[in-house]
Structure 1
Amino acid sequence: MDNATYEKGLKIRRETLGEDYVNKALANVDDFGKDLQELVTTYCWGEIWGREGLDRKTRSTINLAMISALNRPHELAAHIRGAINNGVTPDEIKEILLQVGIYCGVPAMVDSFRIARTVLGEMNEI
């Protein structure tokens, strides 16, 4: 593991998903999940999110669409919080999810709206 890339990824991950979310994820790491957390932090957050080609708001926008299309509710909730932290507005989230409905199907859109409403409500964003 490249320690500098891991640390860069950990910083971006905390800034996007929040200290509490990341601390909880890392606190629950055991021998089985250690490699997963290192891989996600190093490559997803350090290598990809740490690239200069796209800003974090754009990366969050892309993630919301992809995660909605893939029907990954746990990850969607985390990335909705992250999107808000990265400057995506609730209205932009709504538009992203409407587009998901057209290109990926109404069930994906409906489930994603349900999750977004819950998360944005918890964050006092709607």
Structure 2
Amino acid sequence: MADTETDRHRLGMATRRAVLGDAHVDRAVANMTEFDEPFQSLITEAAWGHVWSRPNFTKRERSIVTIALLAALGQDEEVAMHVRATANTGASREDVREALLHVAIYAGVPAANHAIKIARRVYNEVDAARTSEEEK
């Protein structure tokens, strides 16, 4: 980051870590370059510090809304990332399913169908990792 870290940036980073997890954020920070640093600062302050940190919605509610919006927009990688983040936000698989049913009606069946495939893949990966950990 440039010269000083703002309070909004610190709040955003804390919220980003709470939602996405330390490992994800640590990878993003480690992979940051001079080119994309302004973008990373922008999303940390604006998305995470301004929007996700607001008290009006719970993290669960923001998670559901975010997944629906990303699915409607066809943002596959972001859908997968936010479905993974539901482990930290409290949004259940049923919440995600309901959000994607809304996407089908309001944004189109193809968008919802694709997002459902992404969510299923993510949940299968999560379940496989959990099973692998339990077997150790």
**TM-score calculated relative to the size of structure 1:** 0.93
User: How is 1:1-126 mapped onto 2 (pairs within 5 angstroms)?
Assistant: 3-124=6-127
CA RMSD, Structure 1 to Structure 2 (Å): 1.4
| Alpha-carbon distance between aligned partners in 1 of 2:102 and 2:56, rounded to the nearest angstrom | 24
| Alpha-carbon distance between aligned partners in 2 of 1:120 and 1:72, rounded to the nearest angstrom | 18
Evaluate the alpha carbon distance shift between residue 2 and residue 47 of structure 1 in structure 2; reply closer, same or farther with a 3 A threshold.
farther
Structure 1 gap ranges (5+): none
Contact 1:84 1:90 in 2 (8 A): no
**TM-score calculated relative to the size of structure 2:** 0.87
Alignment partner, residue 133 of structure 2: none
Runs of 4+ more than 4 Å apart: none
| Alpha-carbon distance between aligned partners in 1 of 2:56 and 2:92, rounded to the nearest angstrom | 21
Question: How many residue pairs get matched?
Answer: 125
